[in-house]
Structure 1
């Protein structure tokens, strides 16, 4: 039986992986994530706009369902899932994201506060007028190359013939493989002025261009506060732009002032508005500022309006600076002007982007006027043929009457072939043999209607011919002279600016860095309370002294600390969580407080509290640890003088947990109690001091099925009673033994 001879190619697996990954990366970079420098669009945006153009969803026609647009785009041009197409469509319709929206959306297309758009089956869309005229105009004039779609059943434009530098006007953002782009939007009118200035002087510098393009122009307004950094950003294509929201002071009721935020940084769009409100509320709750009486979000379709009602005598300037410093009212926009130029990703400066755009405009204009010239020359040919035909119309009629077929007439008109045609006279036949019309002229003559022979129609034909000759001369002048073509492009740009430009929204200036004086917290002594349910709070020391008995009986942990201190929460999992005293609610004895889970990283569902203490007191002490497997050690409290909210307080072996954490300084003895009823009392001196990341030493010998249930530290000359098997037991009376022995089984 013959075996199939397979072609087996032997190669390194790593080489195959490398090649495959590079192919994938380039596909993401070029075909999905990065915009093309020529039209400033990603493939998904380009395909969606072209599909709307093909479907005839123009600005002056009714809206069409977004689901129809998305489905058609996915089926014909973009086989990457409907969500990415709809998301691109939505963003192109959102005025607060795009400097120049390209889609006219009808329905719920989301909000500046982060609300998502309605499902595509509910929303409708159509092209904006600027998109149709400036982005998709002239597609029928062979101005760009068309390529096959993914399954080679349709043709799509490689790039759209956009007549403005869309990469600057609308900006771009996208994450590819190993690279990302982030380009801020700019003012349309300013960008067009910059393009015109470059076309008039190719040697113009970036600094001179910035006399026209002042800086980014975000749709949300705001203030760019690092004007001096813009030159280096625009030269290199990378850098950081600092943006602030616009804050106004208004008079409120009862002589109070209102701080009103009317414009926000572009980076605050979406969920960050809610975060800003929470951050401002947190500044008040943590007493970082006491100037804010109330905060409300009064934003609507008319625009952003976030109102902070201030208390009387508030330091307005200091509060504004605090908001800039502590919240996203001042934020950074990272610029990385990366785009696909000549088929490869490249970081471009401002002038380079304009250079690429102008080169593209000349290419588009050359193809456009070449196409128009070709069409006019065809018209000239036909018009001249018709004019010539009118001079010999009687002969042509004679040829028509004497011929048997259209083809016979056509051959006669083109090459003077008279065979098979009956003429009235030999003179007519001789004249017919001299006819030399072109094929296009012959076709036009045969299609001509008799009414064209009327005198007025002939005059119209002559006028059309004269106009055609003028157009041909103009188009040839444009194609043959750089200045003429530049003049045409500049005229178009001025017309676009006149019709679509709007005033700048974002101010550009140099502003001093926000500096504020943080009010110093008056250091006072408070009493920390935690009840058995894990609710925490602090109260005034005087209040505690007056209600000492009640406070001690109702709470599990009670101790004094400073309000500037931190509370250490040790858990059975061997971790320590920190919480600032200032983050705890301060109030009356009967106040409920807040769950400790809410103010720290401690999670009561996965771990149990073993000990709670003030950091300042613990850092000067020796802390004793005991675990379920009988390991004990002392740790210097200074090791817990940390700033991190959560640290590992002690090392544990697998399956072990912490049973005891305690300040060992005033203690003299340690007592270990196992589940099987063994007790061992020994001197604290026998416990060695270790680092917090050490396991410790064995405190008591136990069999494999036993484990430590309790551990106690005892002071000398103080009786310590516990309840063991429902009977009182005094631990001090236990016989003193040595550490690492089995202990004594107590029978009660």
Structure 2
């Protein structure tokens, strides 16, 4: 440690630098806790009583202090921001202005508290700078700040202890429920849906007069949220969960109707959008869906919104398409249907809590009871003081001549005050008030006014004492004031509540499950049996019927006619796709195009690329289709490193869209998957031509998280190139296709040689052995680049789907292949 040079004036010990050793972990923990505390209590979470965050509360209080009432002129927003920042909120002006803008946006708050003049933004664009906009209090803000001068709430010092600010606003409006809230703190967040003021007040009044009311009683008054932008809420089970526990979710839909947009064309007209969704976002998603061929039947989408007619999005439908079916498609693929997650976290007595509907209403009711009680006490105290002064003034007026004489003969004001108290038996405040009395108050008319005022004060005092003495009467006053607020500021409900997508009362669990996964059937599609198809070139489709897939000479030359995986299902079912990363991704059959039969078999030329309907990670590919039915056979998988696994049936999460079905080691990937029964033969082919097959019973079913077991013993540097299964009954018709080439060549650039041999030619062996050779390499060949095991006949295609001729069946298993006319991309 360095020292400063010593001087004769200072002792040596004072010249040494003083360094305090602290524990970094303890310091970081303490600092982070202080930061978290500040964010939670002073920034992100609202108070359950007035439903405001500190910055919002300070904005409304400062605007009230500035006299910016609804009947006063607007002032620059920058002035309000400056006053709030300088006196109450020592943070950035941007944060204050953003909070004030949200208080003024009718699409963000169900009952705006700030009346904004100018560009205060939209769902798609931000507001203008504060120097360009003006603001004043909205009418509802008067109810939030009313009675502040009557000691109804506690005041606390501001940041520099020079001014005071209310700890909470009186809040005659249940703002937290009516306007909702959103905020992200440290370790917690809040997201609350807006509600209708009239409904919430009705429930609050019921709770005021019936303190033992249950949640079900209150839900008769508050059936669900009422969003500022209207729309429809589809499925109410999530709402009920949120009302019970404070957490839940629901789906919102746009309000749409089918109209004739031109004499010869129908269209879909959107007049209300889901909460927080803007028209530009919807149009952008529609255009992206059309370009990606996810949406069909749409000719154009235009925004005709204006101030006169309000929101109006027009989506033109092509001729020959059912508008209702197109609308259902839009609900699935665009923000015209969106989800909202409820997380009712708010501060109660300074502590963050997750609140249900009854707790939220009860906190506000108790706050209003406390406000009315404190206001009544304040008014009683003020009226008693005024009555005391009026009584003294009446005494003085009755004998005013003597009062004047006493004052005129006194040496000074102090002597006059004492003589008045002695002569007329007055208190010090009464004597002081008489000394300050003006001569014009000595008329006969003034005496009558004082007598009427005394009677009025005595009546009001008796009324206030009655309110404070009787809890039932106090609650009646609170209930009546709530009713007055609802009558003054209430508006009709905007959001329609539906038990299900069709509006009928359905089983809650089924509706919630279907809604949460976005599964909705177009109206023209019935739930009929069909086949799900995966082509060798990565196209997905479904058949229009459950007719068997038949190959004919005419379809042999059709493009995209190699089926890598097929699955019997129905048009409104869900299936899974197994990926090379060991994931099973949920897929709705309604997302796949239906292919009509062509000469006895479907052509996959109209299929949709896998990447457009399945969210894949980089370098991840789909290897097979899988059933999600609980009674489906076990799913068998194999990896490039020779691991094989059977997934236990029925192990399918109902609330997830993707999950792992095998735990992969680093560098490993899934090469194949198929459903198998216990008597099936599992087949693995490695890059060094080894083929191994063994009964499926040698692989016991495991859970989703398991990593499987050894399937084939691989030589150094080798990998599994294909995996399949053969049913015993189909063994005579099963064939093995192997394609050999150079391992150093770029994929898709070499034709190689192929061999087709019967599966019966390969003897079976036990699991975890090396298998038998299935292909003899020619000169320049050192690896199998492709293999396939299945029922004859086998077909091959190139990377663009063009057919590639395979050689005739060779009964010998350990033989060389025949040169191919073109590179083979897939066999099926």
The answer on 1:30 being equivalent to 2:41 is yes
Decide whether the 8 Å contact of 1:384 with 1:465 is kept in 2: yes
Give the root-mean-square deviation of aligned CA atoms.
3.9
The answer on 1:264 being equivalent to 2:307 is no
1:159 aligns with one of 140, 152, 168: 168
Q: CA deviation at 1:523?
A: 10
Q: 1:80 maps to which residue?
A: 91
Q: 2:464 maps to which residue?
A: 475
1: CA distance between counterparts of 2:106 and 2:232? 18
2: CA distance between counterparts of 1:394 and 1:664? 127
1: CA distance between counterparts of 2:214 and 2:327? 37
| Counterpart secondary structure, 2:375 | helix
1: CA distance between counterparts of 2:604 and 2:344? 54
Q: Which runs of 5+ in 1 are unaligned?
A: 417-431, 529-540, 544-559, 569-574, 580-614, 624-632, 640-657, 669-681, 691-714, 719-748
2: CA distance between counterparts of 1:659 and 1:666? 10
The answer on 1:352 being equivalent to 2:341 is no
The answer on 1:312 being equivalent to 2:319 is yes
2:402 aligns with one of 364, 386, 395: 395
Q: Which moved more, 1:384-393 or 1:370-379?
A: 384-393
Q: Which runs of 5+ in 2 are unaligned?
A: 1-10, 502-513, 515-519, 539-556, 560-602, 612-617, 623-671, 673-683, 689-716, 724-743, 755-777, 787-816, 821-828
> Against the structure 1 CA distance between its residues 662 and 337, is the aligned structure 2 distance closer, same or farther, given a 3 Å change threshold?
same
2: CA distance between counterparts of 1:636 and 1:562? 30
The answer on 1:66 being equivalent to 2:39 is no
The structure that is helix-richer by fraction is 1
| Counterpart secondary structure, 2:271 | strand
2: CA distance between counterparts of 1:365 and 1:7? 58
Q: 1:203 maps to which residue?
A: 212
Q: CA deviation at 1:276?
A: 2.4
1:666 aligns with one of 752, 763, 775: 752
What TM-score comes out, normalization by structure 2 length?
0.63
What TM-score comes out, normalization by structure 1 length?
0.69
| Counterpart secondary structure, 1:3 | helix
The answer on 1:56 being equivalent to 2:67 is yes
Q: CA deviation at 1:330?
A: 1.4
Q: What is the number of equivalent residue pairs in this alignment?
A: 568
Q: 1:368 maps to which residue?
A: 375
2: CA distance between counterparts of 1:92 and 1:181? 17
Q: CA deviation at 1:478?
A: 1.1
Q: CA deviation at 1:12?
A: 3.9
The answer on 1:93 being equivalent to 2:189 is no
Q: CA deviation at 1:316?
A: 2.6
2: CA distance between counterparts of 1:481 and 1:567? 71
Decide whether the 8 Å contact of 2:48 with 2:346 is kept in 1: yes
Q: Which moved more, 1:28-37 or 1:205-214?
A: 205-214
> Against the structure 1 CA distance between its residues 9 and 57, is the aligned structure 2 distance closer, same or farther, given a 3 Å change threshold?
same
> Against the structure 1 CA distance between its residues 258 and 70, is the aligned structure 2 distance closer, same or farther, given a 3 Å change threshold?
same
Q: CA deviation at 1:577?
A: 8.6
The answer on 1:290 being equivalent to 2:296 is yes
2: CA distance between counterparts of 1:347 and 1:91? 24
Q: 1:463 maps to which residue?
A: 452
Q: 2:731 maps to which residue?
A: none
Q: 1:323 maps to which residue?
A: 330
> Against the structure 1 CA distance between its residues 277 and 364, is the aligned structure 2 distance closer, same or farther, given a 3 Å change threshold?
same
| Counterpart secondary structure, 1:194 | helix
| Counterpart secondary structure, 1:252 | strand
Structure with the greater alpha carbon radius of gyration: 1
Decide whether the 8 Å contact of 2:209 with 2:476 is kept in 1: no
Q: 2:260 maps to which residue?
A: 251
> Against the structure 1 CA distance between its residues 177 and 525, is the aligned structure 2 distance closer, same or farther, given a 3 Å change threshold?
closer
Q: CA deviation at 1:449?
A: 2.0
Q: Which moved more, 1:276-285 or 1:92-101?
A: 276-285
- Measured against aligned partners, the alpha-carbon deviations of 1:395-434 in whole angstroms (never above 9, x if no partner) come to 22221121121111012223x3xxxxxxxxxxxxxxx3xx
2: CA distance between counterparts of 1:310 and 1:522? 28
2: CA distance between counterparts of 1:160 and 1:39? 6
| Counterpart secondary structure, 1:684 | coil
Decide whether the 8 Å contact of 1:172 with 1:181 is kept in 2: yes
Decide whether the 8 Å contact of 1:294 with 1:310 is kept in 2: yes
Q: CA deviation at 1:286?
A: 3.9
2: CA distance between counterparts of 1:276 and 1:521? 33
1:124 aligns with one of 134, 155, 164: 134
1:278 aligns with one of 254, 279, 284: 284
Show the 5 A alignment for 1:398-477: 398-414=405-421, 416=422, 432=423, 435-477=424-466
| Counterpart secondary structure, 2:263 | helix
Q: CA deviation at 1:659?
A: 9.0
> Against the structure 1 CA distance between its residues 388 and 11, is the aligned structure 2 distance closer, same or farther, given a 3 Å change threshold?
same
